[in-house]
């Protein structure tokens, strides 16, 4: 089978096509013929070598999100059959989804929400689950909470705005001026273009959700209510250090809480799917690239100009491989 991977760390140019053996389904597993995958910022970080001590597999195939069609079912699998349209989240420790076929444990595969295309479904797992964990699971957002979302126009941020509004929060979104109208359309109550204005010094929030790593807990704490929560998907060293101090300060009545998300839980996918079915959550696909142009998608991702998600077309549902952008 054809894959797009890298043999060494570096710029997007290290990505190239390889031929690898097609996986076969063992007991409890399914093999998925991949239709689409996507690009997340962590893919670029893995390619650059940010996690080089944890990602030693060569060639390394990146891509966490997968949508496609079940091609083979292993023994002891009853919930899926060949031809089912599904999506899944690949494991950090193994190769990813930029391949014609992937093998997954059936318990980690989900039926595609029927109202989504396979293209849209590839934009949902990692970013959607991360946003759900940040807003609901770790953030414990309640109706009428005031939530500040930093990086509201990207993949995680786009979902976070929508989920926070479903919960009933008041959302202040920070993004670039060029993306302000897009974020308002997602449902944000207030939009603060970071390149035109700064956050008022007296602004207070029940939660600050930083999905781009532009802040630290020490910077955000003056804007948190006494019981406020700070959540980051890309924690700074200062923020990590603060994780040790916060429990100690709680002994003196300091109740602010800090969390950072390294890996989203998979248990929230049913919730995301239900929101999609109710028309309350919509994946937004900025651009679609063929797998041969994955390097171009990585360059665009690193430009920090993406609205929503970048999707990679691997094959069509009928099985034909797409060779052109």
Which domains does the chain show, CATH number per domain? 2-124+283-313 (3.90.180.10), 127-260 (3.40.50.720)
Q: Which residue ranges in the chain fall short of pLDDT 50? A: 239, 249, 252-255, 320-325
Residue 325 confidence (pLDDT) = 40
pLDDT at 322: 45
Look at residue 321 in the predicted model and tell me its pLDDT.
44
pLDDT of amino acid 74: 96
Q: What is the pLDDT of residue 94?
A: 80
Whether pTM > 0.85 for this model: the answer is yes
- Classify residue 263 by burial, with Cβ atoms within 10 Å: 0-12, 13-18, 19+: middle
Between CA 25 and CA 102 the distance in angstroms is 9
For residue 252, the model assigns a pLDDT of 46
74, two tokens:
């292993």
- The pLDDT of residue 140 is 92
Residue 172 has what pLDDT? 97
119 closest CA partner among 309, 324, 305, 277: 309
The two three-digit tokens of residue 317, written as one number? 């549902």
pLDDT for 161 equals 98
Cβ pair 68, 34 in contact under 8 A: yes
């Amino acid at each position: 089978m054809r894959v797009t991977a890298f043999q060494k760390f570096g710029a997007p140019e290290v990505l190239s096509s390889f031929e690898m053996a097609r996986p076969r389904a063992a007991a409890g597993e399914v093999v998925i013929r991949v239709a689409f995958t996507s690009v997340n910022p962590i893919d670029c970080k893995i390619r650059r070598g940010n996690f080089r001590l944890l990602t030693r597999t060569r060639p390394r195939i990146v891509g966490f999100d997968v949508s496609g069609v079940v091609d083979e079912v292993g023994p002891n699998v009853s919930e899926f059959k060949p031809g089912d349209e599904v999506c899944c989240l690949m494991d950090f420790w193994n190769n990813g989804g930029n391949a014609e076929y992937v093998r997954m444990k059936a318990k980690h595969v989900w039926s595609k929400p029927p109202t989504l295309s396979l293209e849209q479904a590839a934009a949902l797992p990692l970013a959607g689950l991360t946003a759900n964990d940040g807003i609901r699971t770790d953030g414990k957002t309640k109706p009428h909470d005031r939530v500040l979302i930093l990086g509201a126009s990207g993949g995680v941020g786009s979902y976070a705005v929508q989920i926070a509004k479903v919960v009933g929060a008041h959302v202040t979104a920070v993004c670039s001026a060029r993306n302000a109208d897009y974020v308002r359309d997602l449902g944000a109550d207030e939009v603060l273009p970071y390149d035109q204005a700064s956050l008022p010094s007296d602004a207070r929030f029940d939660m600050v959700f930083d999905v781009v790593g532009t802040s630290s807990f020490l910077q955000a704490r003056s804007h948190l209510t006494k019981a406020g929560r700070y959540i980051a998907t890309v924690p700074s060293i200062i923020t990590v250090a603060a994780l040790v101090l916060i429990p100690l300060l709680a002994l003196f009545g300091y109740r602010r809480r800090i969390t950072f998300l390294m890996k989203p839980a998979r248990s929230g996918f049913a919730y995301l799917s239900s929101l999609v079915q109710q028309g309350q959550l919509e994946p937004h696909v900025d651009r679609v690239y063929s797998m041969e142009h994955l390097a171009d998608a990585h360059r665009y991702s690193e430009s920090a100009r993406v609205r929503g998600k970048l999707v990679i077309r691997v094959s069509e549902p009928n099985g034909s491989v797409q060779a052109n952008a």
